[in-house]
Chains A and B, each alone.
Chain A
Amino acid sequence: MKESLSGVRSVPIRGMDLRALESTSQSMALGLSGEEMLRLSDYFKGLGRDPTDVELQAMAQAWSEHCCYKSSKFYLKKYFSGLEKHDAILAMEDDAGVVSFDDEYAYVLKMESHNHPSAIEPYGGAATGVGGIIRDVLCMGAQPIALLDSIYFGDVGTRQWNDPSLHPRFVLDNVVAGIRDYGNRVGLPNVAGSVDFDTSFNHSPLVNAGCIGIVRKDRIVRSFVNRIGDIFVLAGGRTGRDGIHGVNFASATLEERSGQNRSVVQLGNPIIKEPLIHAVLEANDLGMIDGMKDLGGGGLSSSVGEMCLAGGVSAEIDLEKVLLKEPNMEAWEIWISESQERMLMAIDPSRLPELEEIFNRWGIEFSVIGKIVEGTNLILRYMGEKVLDLDLEFLTSGPVYCRNYDIPQRKDIDYVLPSESFDMGDLIKRFLSQPENCARFNITRQYDHTVRGDTIIRPMSGFPNHETHSDAAVIKPLEHSMKGLALTAGSRYNMVAVDPMGGTFGTMVEAYLNIMVTGSRPTSVVDCLNLGNPEDPAIMGQLVQISSAISEFCSRLGLPVVAGNVSLYNQYQGINIKPVPNIMMVGVIDDVSNSISSDFKAVGNSIFIIGKESTSLGGSHLLKFLGKTSSSVPWFDMDELKIISESYLKAVPSGIIVSAHDVSSGGLIQALLEMSFGGGIGFDTDITLVSGARTLEKLFSEGGERIIVEVPQSREKEFLEHFRGIAVTKLGKTTEGSVHVDDFGMTVIDGTVEEFKEPWVHGLDGLV
């Protein structure tokens, strides 16, 4: 190996055999397979020279699973490229999705996983997950306005833990602390999301962070550059040795990530991020940013490469212009470092003085690191030497694998329910006290929901000491307009584990209903797919089924998929996680003062259930609680969903519906109880007409497109008239605080709101 002034080495891969290539990949921590190394060696044979270490490291970043989606790209393209854009302005094109909000404004949204870092350093991993997703929204020129998170943990209550990986409870506490500290300090409300527990996440927790922002349509910044002569400005945090090889790391399973893990996780610094947001937005308001991208996985290497390739231009970069945290960093380290809080902007050189004034005022460091040029080759210089000179197309596009997939035959399993001689009230209380089914307040109360003053429906509804879960959060992003945005995120992964396709339909239906019950019309979808090892055809089978279900749902309901993320290799010692298609959905409501929350509003009102019956317990929380498995999930009827949603949204402005909640985890009974926990108003219901099934099935089935609504008694006739032609069943009426359920003339449940609320509220006590 030759050394030079810049410290850059030439790596003689042209003369290496497969074994030597593999060991080079390993010793340089490239994370590339032998075959990929062979491709590189052939390429450099064609060029007639060996690569520099900078070039090899850059290739490894660009070709990692994280950056080029080599395992999933083929199928994602197949299922998502044909979808219509509807209200979307940018769908699957840039760093985040952009969707029309009103004539003048657009909203920007994205959700991304940060699973692998969170598994080894939960606090920093979760915090930088939040930080990264804020930058994705910011780089479209948008003001970030709210956060949401879906997080999945293992058996947090277990006392048997002899594994070297972190205890699930430690992971839970620290992930929540990381999200809390970053979000609260940067001043963004955390308004929605989900928390789930399952032993399959014992060693592979999932952290999916989402962000939404708002931007004037004429100020949207694209993630590419095409103006020759523009300069690249790198602003925000300095570049250090932290976070090197994070993306290669994400392409490995946990037990492979032993040894030098330190450098891949950082803590994140929200105190720099806040002024950085101000500075970037101020510069964008003056129209000086021609293209922008945040620095995430792959660092400068991936951001510069992708920005230029998408714009059909190239760049010349001077690495010594990059501001460093520590001296003596090697060229390749500077180029691929994933240090946090950095933004890369392309501006016209004539506007540099203005930019300087703004960034100095906000106390944000920056430097000009290079310029945009014509040509096909990206050129890097360090200490006066050329250290990288590569064809951008070859460097950035990466390999695509059409991996084999297999959809295993499911065995038919008939679950046998216990005979109903037990005390139903007692069963429900035990069910509600489980971490999986109880209130999330211990977690959500650590987050600020109302900073910025835009939050109309918070994650909890009701009044102090009498609060319940909301379906979707509603925020009002613009001061001068009553128009609002509704946000939700989550997954019905228990159903997906049984049937990836049916379960994904279930997930989409729930997200849709969550948005709709608030009175908002869903207008966009972001999917965040979390799966096991893609080299296993059964895992690829899950990816294919999940993607096709999302695609079918969206084309039937007229929704665009505007952004997405795939996290693979969520595997530990050969055990894959249950597949989790985490769906973020956003809707628009014309007037937030019409928005509907989930808590019962008054005593004596009528309670109805809208939507046809569902009796299947497949993939339900009850079966999981009872320790039973099933081989099928309920059927979801997308045509019915469409009809219900049209009628429902028309009814909203008239005020005939005063509260509403969808039937999802925990079924009808959990939905009714949750409505009564907010405000303490009870219910007296008869479920005989809900379906002809057994009481347990009626109470706990999570299927169908069903919502429970509260209607003032005086407007019952008007309500029934409005929903004519749709399956609507009257359940009963709201009460002072008692809970009563009859079925076939027998009392099934008789108690008070308080006695059911107690176990539900305290389910996470002692854990977080």
Chain B
Amino acid sequence: MPVIRVDVEYLPGVEDPEAITILKNLKILGYDTITETRTAKSYEFRIEGKLEEARSTVDEIASKILTNPVIQKYSLQVVDP
């Protein structure tokens, strides 16, 4: 059964408050070498059927439900064909 992963992240230029807060606190804790942090959300789907159909289903879910194209983008990755 195909397993497909969707990564949802902010578009470049959209400020990511969570990442900023993490970075700030890492600096307080002494991790001086870190210069940038970004966050993303990962979803994994196990789907019945062929890989191509599964991919198009996940693509539809990702674009319709998991992301708002105004601030986010997504990418698909086949974890297990």
A contact residues vs B (CB 8 Å cutoff): 120-121, 123-124, 166, 240-242, 261-263, 265-272, 325-326, 339-340, 363
Task: State whether B71 touches A263 (Cβ < 8 A).
Answer: no
B29 contacts A by Cβ under 8 Å: no
Listed stretches B7-15, B40-48, B54-62; interface member: B7-15
For A270, the chain B residues whose CB sits under 8 A away are 17
Given contacts A262-B70, A262-B71, contact A267 B13 (CB under 8 A): no
Which residue on chain A has the smallest CB distance to residue B24? A363
Sample (11) of A-B pairs whose CB atoms are under 8 Å apart: A120-B70, A121-B68, A121-B71, A124-B71, A240-B13, A266-B14, A266-B15, A267-B15, A267-B71, A271-B17, A271-B21
Task: State whether A262 touches B15 (Cβ < 8 A).
Answer: no
Task: State whether B20 touches A262 (Cβ < 8 A).
Answer: no
For A267, the chain B residues whose CB sits under 8 A away are 14-17, 71
Residues of B contacting A: mostly: loop
Which residue on chain B has the smallest CB distance to residue A127? B17
A340 to B24, CA, bound (A): 18
A253 to B47, CA, bound (A): 41
Task: State whether B17 touches A262 (Cβ < 8 A).
Answer: no
Which residue on chain A has the smallest CB distance to residue B65? A170
Task: State whether A262 touches B21 (Cβ < 8 A).
Answer: no
Which residue on chain A has the smallest CB distance to residue B20? A269
For A123, the chain B residues whose CB sits under 8 A away are 68
In the complex, besides A120-B68, A121-B68, A339-B15, 5 extra interface pairs with C-beta distance below 8 angstroms are: A267-B16, A269-B15, A271-B20, A326-B13, A363-B24
Task: State whether B70 touches A261 (Cβ < 8 A).
Answer: yes
Given contacts A120-B70, A265-B70, contact A242 B13 (CB under 8 A): yes
A266 to B16, CA, bound (A): 9
B56 nearest CB across to chain A (Å): 19
For A120, the chain B residues whose CB sits under 8 A away are 68, 70
For B13, the chain A residues whose CB sits under 8 A away are 240-242, 262-263, 326
For A271, the chain B residues whose CB sits under 8 A away are 17, 20-21
Sorted nearest first, the 9 A-B pairs with minimum C-beta distance are A269-B17, A121-B70, A271-B21, A120-B70, A241-B13, A261-B70, A121-B71, A242-B15, A267-B17
A240 to B71, CA, bound (A): 15
Identify the interface centre among B11, B17, B24, B71: most chain A CB within 10 Å of its CB: B17
Which residue on chain A has the smallest CB distance to residue B21? A271
For B24, the chain A residues whose CB sits under 8 A away are 363
Cβ 8 A contact of B71, one of A166, A265, A272, A340: A265
A323 nearest CB across to chain B (Å): 14
Given contacts A121-B70, A121-B71, contact A325 B14 (CB under 8 A): no
Which residue on chain B has the smallest CB distance to residue A266? B15
B contact residues vs A (CB 8 Å cutoff): 11, 13-17, 20-21, 24, 68, 70-71
Residues of A contacting B: mostly: loop
Identify the interface centre among B15, B21, B70: most chain A CB within 10 Å of its CB: B15
A292 to B71, CA, bound (A): 31
Cβ 8 A contact of A240, one of B11, B15, B21, B70: B15
Tell me the total A-B contact number using a CB cutoff of 8 A: 46
For B21, the chain A residues whose CB sits under 8 A away are 269, 271
B26 nearest CB across to chain A (Å): 14
B28 nearest CB across to chain A (Å): 9
For B70, the chain A residues whose CB sits under 8 A away are 120-121, 261-262, 265
For B71, the chain A residues whose CB sits under 8 A away are 121, 124, 262, 265, 267
Task: State whether A262 touches B11 (Cβ < 8 A).
Answer: yes
Which residue on chain A has the smallest CB distance to residue B10? A267
A167 nearest CB across to chain B (Å): 9
Task: State whether A242 touches B20 (Cβ < 8 A).
Answer: no
A240 to B20, CA, bound (A): 14
For B68, the chain A residues whose CB sits under 8 A away are 120-121, 123, 166
A690 to B16, CA, bound (A): 58
A271 to B23, CA, bound (A): 13
For A266, the chain B residues whose CB sits under 8 A away are 14-15
Task: State whether A242 touches B17 (Cβ < 8 A).
Answer: no
B45 nearest CB across to chain A (Å): 20
A128 nearest CB across to chain B (Å): 10
A265 nearest CB across to chain B (Å): 6
A728 to B71, CA, bound (A): 57
Which residue on chain B has the smallest CB distance to residue A269? B17
For A269, the chain B residues whose CB sits under 8 A away are 15, 17, 20-21
A340 to B15, CA, bound (A): 10
A242 to B17, CA, bound (A): 13
For A242, the chain B residues whose CB sits under 8 A away are 13-15
B73 nearest CB across to chain A (Å): 10
For B16, the chain A residues whose CB sits under 8 A away are 267
Which residue on chain A has the smallest CB distance to residue B68? A121
For B20, the chain A residues whose CB sits under 8 A away are 269, 271-272
A656 to B15, CA, bound (A): 55
B25 nearest CB across to chain A (Å): 10
Which residue on chain A has the smallest CB distance to residue B70? A121
A241 to B68, CA, bound (A): 19
A340 to B17, CA, bound (A): 11
A242 to B20, CA, bound (A): 15
Which residue on chain A has the smallest CB distance to residue B71? A121
Task: State whether A325 touches B15 (Cβ < 8 A).
Answer: yes
A326 to B21, CA, bound (A): 17
Task: State whether B17 touches A268 (Cβ < 8 A).
Answer: yes
Which residue on chain A has the smallest CB distance to residue B13? A241
A262 to B20, CA, bound (A): 20
A120 to B71, CA, bound (A): 10
Which residue on chain B has the smallest CB distance to residue A263? B13
A124 to B70, CA, bound (A): 10
A269 to B17, CA, bound (A): 5
A339 to B15, CA, bound (A): 9
A301 to B15, CA, bound (A): 21
A159 nearest CB across to chain B (Å): 14
A611 to B72, CA, bound (A): 54
A263 to B17, CA, bound (A): 16
Which residue on chain B has the smallest CB distance to residue A326? B13
For A121, the chain B residues whose CB sits under 8 A away are 68, 70-71
For A268, the chain B residues whose CB sits under 8 A away are 17
A271 to B22, CA, bound (A): 11
Which residue on chain A has the smallest CB distance to residue B16? A267
A366 to B34, CA, bound (A): 22
A71 to B20, CA, bound (A): 40
A493 to B14, CA, bound (A): 35
B74 nearest CB across to chain A (Å): 15
For B14, the chain A residues whose CB sits under 8 A away are 242, 262, 266-267
B17 nearest CB across to chain A (Å): 4
A261 to B71, CA, bound (A): 9
Which residue on chain B has the smallest CB distance to residue A117? B70
A262 to B12, CA, bound (A): 10
A325 to B16, CA, bound (A): 12
For B17, the chain A residues whose CB sits under 8 A away are 267-272
A163 nearest CB across to chain B (Å): 13
Which residue on chain B has the smallest CB distance to residue A181? B17
For A124, the chain B residues whose CB sits under 8 A away are 71
A263 to B24, CA, bound (A): 24
For A166, the chain B residues whose CB sits under 8 A away are 68
B65 nearest CB across to chain A (Å): 9
For A265, the chain B residues whose CB sits under 8 A away are 70-71
Which residue on chain B has the smallest CB distance to residue A244? B13
B27 nearest CB across to chain A (Å): 10
A608 nearest CB across to chain B (Å): 51
A261 to B11, CA, bound (A): 12
A365 nearest CB across to chain B (Å): 11
B19 nearest CB across to chain A (Å): 10
A332 to B20, CA, bound (A): 25
A241 to B12, CA, bound (A): 10
A363 to B27, CA, bound (A): 12
